[in-house]
């Protein structure tokens, strides 16, 4: 399970500008300085890309028929001119948009950091040998040590992160192999993670990033690392310490552009086709892990046939994401690529997850592909080089997604069967755990118990985790979500309020979004709007369009729009 993510004082106008309300969906009347604002036409209308679209007199950041994004970098009154047509093409007209861009910076982020150290000792125990430092501190120490640098970017709530902490980082193999490495832990929920995001941009938890002593990135790995996989990944990339990704990128793109200087360099150094293909595969792996869409497209567009091998599932997921984000969504094409993904994962990880996703796209195809289940289970049972914990985790995750898939197929008997198997697998995982109460195994057990409709057992388990880790919001939030699923909204609100008492940083913003949904369920719209406004008051933005804070703003705005609609 893969998991993958603020400051100015202002008040928010929930409704759209009056003069354009008939042609645009609602947008905030007051925005943060540097905020990226997304405008959408109302149903059965589109933006005319043949006509000029202007944001403060300049071009928009992004313009498609269904979405225009503008960034407003100066405080005070702001405007945009957007040309809207109806889909029947009976008229097109310019729409003038007026906004107020706030000037004052928000208060210092006391609210977001006050609980950050509550769980610090638990973190230290779970990541032995890792240090907690800023990027500047890391640069100085890395140069002094002259060792390989491993950065783990993780959170408390991420299940594969917790599994890596319990069953990989504490293993004798990992401890011995990395004995002379400089290891850094980055808490992805802390505000300091934004500083690391500028140095090592990340999209997934966990992300393992290998750097040389000059803090130049060499390779990264996202997701679950098993011991043998980690060792082979590390051994391969330790030989590349003098060839960081920045150098690799220059080389690959220069060849793509057929640059004469690179041709001479390759000739002089005797670089042949196999080495060039290896460079492309290495660059493709990195770009997929970093979600660098332009680089992925560039490498895949190469006329040279690449043996993508183990990267094929990632490439297919990339294609699915591209198809799902397209303006003219083609559901048949999405279903077809999902079938390809299912075939590509039959003898790797994530087949059951791909099956469950296919059920959403094409239920009949999903029911047909479920016929491969005996072959899939035979493969899983034959896998070698796994520890007992790794095998239990693998089977637990597989059984969970199988239960989910059979639920979508409305096969209650099979759903219950695999939910029970899921419970058994995570109980086996729990027996292999080092911590006093396994976080990873218990996190896995909760959704399995939900699938089996054993809600009281799931609640009891979460309450035990809350007692064991009282300064962590993760399990309180999960308990709140479980009560919400059962329509026990008062209890859901009670537990989300308890979680708020120990939350911090980016997990506090996630909590606010959940809380606003609960308040909406309770028909308390004003209260929901109020907490979203309070969250936006904690935001401070710079002009970086890709920052984490911009992502948070967009999520909060989407929640506000849900209240307004």
Q: Which domains does the chain have, with CATH numbers?
A: 18-101 (2.60.40.10), 110-242 (3.40.30.10), 247-307 (no CATH)
Using the structure block, give the residue that is written with the tokens 């603020």: 6
> By CB neighbour count within 10 A (0-12 exposed, 13-18 middle, 19+ buried), where does 245 fall?
buried
φ/ψ (deg, to 5) at 384 = -105, 175
pLDDT at 139 over 50: yes
Average pLDDT over residues 196-223: 92
Distance CA 22, CA 55 (A): 20
pLDDT at 2 over 60: no
Kindly report the CA angle at 86 between 81 and 87, in degrees rounded to 5? 130
Q: Confidence band (pLDDT; 50, 70, 90) for 222?
A: confident
Chain-centroid distance, C-alpha 388:
28
**Structure tokens that stand for 454 in this block:** 């054993």
Q: Which DSSP category does 328 fall into?
A: S
Residue whose C-alpha is closest to residue 428's, from 404, 452, 399: 399
Average pLDDT over residues 347-374: 95
DSSP for 153-194 reads EE-SS-HHHHHHIIIIITSHHHHHHTTTSEEEEEETTSTTHH
Q: Which residue has the higher pLDDT, 60 or 110?
A: 60
Per the CB < 8 A criterion, the answer to whether 346 and 358 are in contact is no
81: enclosing H helix or E strand: strand 76-86
Long-range CB pairs of 489-493 (<8 Å, 24+ gap) are 489/518, 489/521, 489/522, 492/518, 492/521, 493/518, 493/519, 493/522
Q: Which residue has the higher pLDDT, 555 or 432?
A: 555
Distance CA 364, CA 472 (A): 43
φ/ψ (deg, to 5) at 135 = -60, -40
pLDDT value of position 291 = 86
Cis peptide before 62 (omega within 30 of 0): no
pLDDT at 431 over 90: no
Distance CA 51, CA 65 (A): 11
Q: Confidence band (pLDDT; 50, 70, 90) for 57?
A: confident
54: enclosing H helix or E strand: strand 54-55
Using the structure block, give the residue that is written with the tokens 């219950």: 416
pLDDT value of position 26 = 86
Distance CA 38, CA 545 (A): 13
pTM for the full predicted model:
0.89
Q: Confidence band (pLDDT; 50, 70, 90) for 436?
A: low
* 3-class DSSP state of 198: helix
Q: Confidence band (pLDDT; 50, 70, 90) for 280?
A: very high
Average pLDDT over residues 453-482: 95
> By CB neighbour count within 10 A (0-12 exposed, 13-18 middle, 19+ buried), where does 535 fall?
buried
The set of residues, in sequence order, having a beta carbon less than 8 Å from that of 141 and lying 6+ positions away, is 131, 133, 182
Distance CA 165, CA 183 (A): 13
Per the CB < 8 A criterion, the answer to whether 64 and 28 are in contact is no
**Structure tokens that stand for 445 in this block:** 């057990």
Mark residue 41 as left, alpha or beta (left: phi above 0; alpha: psi -120 to 50; beta: remaining).
beta
Distance CA 218, CA 149 (A): 10
pLDDT value of position 223 = 65
**Highest mean pLDDT, choosing among 199-208, 393-402, 542-551:** 393-402
φ/ψ (deg, to 5) at 58 = -110, 180
pLDDT value of position 110 = 86
Residue whose C-alpha is closest to residue 546's, from 61, 41, 178, 27: 61
- What is the percent of the chain where pLDDT is above 70? 94
Per the CB < 8 A criterion, the answer to whether 335 and 323 are in contact is no
Distance CA 266, CA 282 (A): 17
The set of residues, in sequence order, having a beta carbon less than 8 Å from that of 439 and lying 6+ positions away, is 162, 165, 166, 465, 469
Average pLDDT of the chain is: 90
- The predicted-structure confidence for 297-340, as pLDDT tens digits, reads as follows 988 887 666 778 788 999 999 999 999 988 778 999 999 999 99
- The predicted-structure confidence for 265-276, as pLDDT tens digits, reads as follows 999 999 999 999
**CA-CA distances (angstroms) from residue 73 to 33, 63, 122, 544?**
5, 18, 41, 11
φ/ψ (deg, to 5) at 70 = -125, 145
Average pLDDT over residues 345-359: 94
- The predicted-structure confidence for 65-124, as pLDDT tens digits, reads as follows 999 999 999 999 999 999 999 998 888 999 999 999 987 766 788 889 999 999 888 888
Average pLDDT over residues 509-526: 97
Distance CA 204, CA 206 (A): 6
**CA-CA distances (angstroms) from residue 141 to 148, 196, 469?**
11, 16, 32
Mark residue 200 as left, alpha or beta (left: phi above 0; alpha: psi -120 to 50; beta: remaining).
beta
First-to-final CA distance of the chain: 33
**Structure tokens that stand for 100 in this block:** 């107020």
């Amino acid at each position: 399970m893969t998991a993958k993510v603020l400051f100015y004082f202002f008040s928010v106008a929930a409704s759209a500008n009056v003069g354009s309300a008939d042609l645009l969906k609602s947008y905030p009347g007051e925005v943060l300085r540097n905020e990226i604002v997304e405008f959408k036409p109302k149903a059965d209308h589109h933006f005319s890309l043949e006509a000029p679209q202007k944001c403060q007199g300049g071009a928009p950041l992004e313009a498609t028929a269904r979405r225009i994004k503008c960034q407003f970098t100066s405080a005070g009154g702001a405007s945009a001119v957007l040309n809207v047509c109806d889909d029947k093409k009976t008229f097109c007209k310019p729409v003038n948009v007026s906004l107020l861009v706030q000037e004052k910076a928000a208060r210092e982020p006391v609210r977001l950091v006050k609980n950050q150290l509550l769980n610090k000792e638990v973190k230290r125990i779970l990541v032995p040998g890792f240090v907690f430092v800023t990027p500047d501190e890391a640069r100085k120490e890395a140069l002094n040590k002259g060792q390989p640098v491993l950065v783990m970017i993780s959170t408390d709530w991420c299940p594969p992160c917790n599994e890596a902490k319990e069953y990989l980082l504490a293993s004798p193999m990992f401890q011995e192999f990395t004995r002379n490495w400089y290891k850094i832990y980055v808490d992805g929920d802390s505000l300091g993670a934004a500083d690391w995001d500028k140095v090592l941009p990340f999209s997934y938890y966990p992300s393992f990033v290998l750097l040389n002593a000059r803090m130049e990135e060499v390779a990264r790995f996202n997701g679950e690392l098993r011991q043998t996989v980690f060792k082979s990944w590390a051994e391969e990339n330790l030989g590349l310490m003098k060839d960081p990704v920045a150098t690799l990128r220059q080389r690959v793109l220069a060849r793509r552009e057929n640059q004469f200087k690179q041709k001479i360099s390759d000739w002089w150094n005797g670089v042949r086709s196999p080495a060039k293909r290896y460079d492309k595969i290495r660059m493709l792996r990195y770009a997929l892990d970093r979600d660098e869409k332009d680089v992925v497209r560039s490498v895949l567009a190469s006329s040279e046939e690449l043996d993508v091998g183990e990267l094929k599932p990632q490439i297919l997921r990339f294609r699915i994401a591209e198809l799902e984000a397209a303006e003219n969504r083609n559901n048949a094409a999405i279903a077809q690529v999902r079938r390809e993904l299912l075939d590509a994962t039959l003898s790797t990880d994530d087949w059951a997850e791909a099956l469950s996703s296919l059920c959403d796209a094409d239920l009949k195809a999903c029911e047909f592909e479920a016929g491969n289940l005996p072959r899939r289970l035979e493969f899983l049972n034959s896998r070698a080089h796994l520890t007992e914990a790794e095998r239990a985790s693998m089977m637990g995750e597989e059984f969970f997604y199988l239960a989910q898939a059979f639920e979508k197929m409305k096969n209650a008997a099979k759903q219950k069967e695999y939910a029970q198997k899921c419970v058994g697998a995570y109980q086996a995982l729990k027996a292999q755990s080092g911590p006093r109460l396994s976080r990873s195994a218990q996190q896995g057990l909760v959704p399995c118990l939900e699938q089996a409709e054993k809600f009281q057992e799931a609640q009891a388990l979460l309450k035990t985790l809350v007692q064991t880790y009282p300064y962590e919001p993760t399990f309180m939030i999960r308990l709140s979500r479980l009560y919400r699923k059962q329509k026990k909204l008062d209890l859901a609100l009670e537990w989300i309020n308890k979680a708020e008492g120990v939350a911090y940083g980016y997990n506090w913003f996630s909590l606010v979004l959940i809380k606003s949904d609960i308040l909406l369920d309770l028909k308390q719209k004003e209260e929901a709007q109020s907490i979203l406004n309070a969250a936006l008051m904690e935001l401070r933005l710079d002009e970086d369009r890709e920052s984490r804070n911009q992502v948070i703003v967009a999520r909060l705005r989407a929640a506000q729009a849900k209240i307004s609609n």
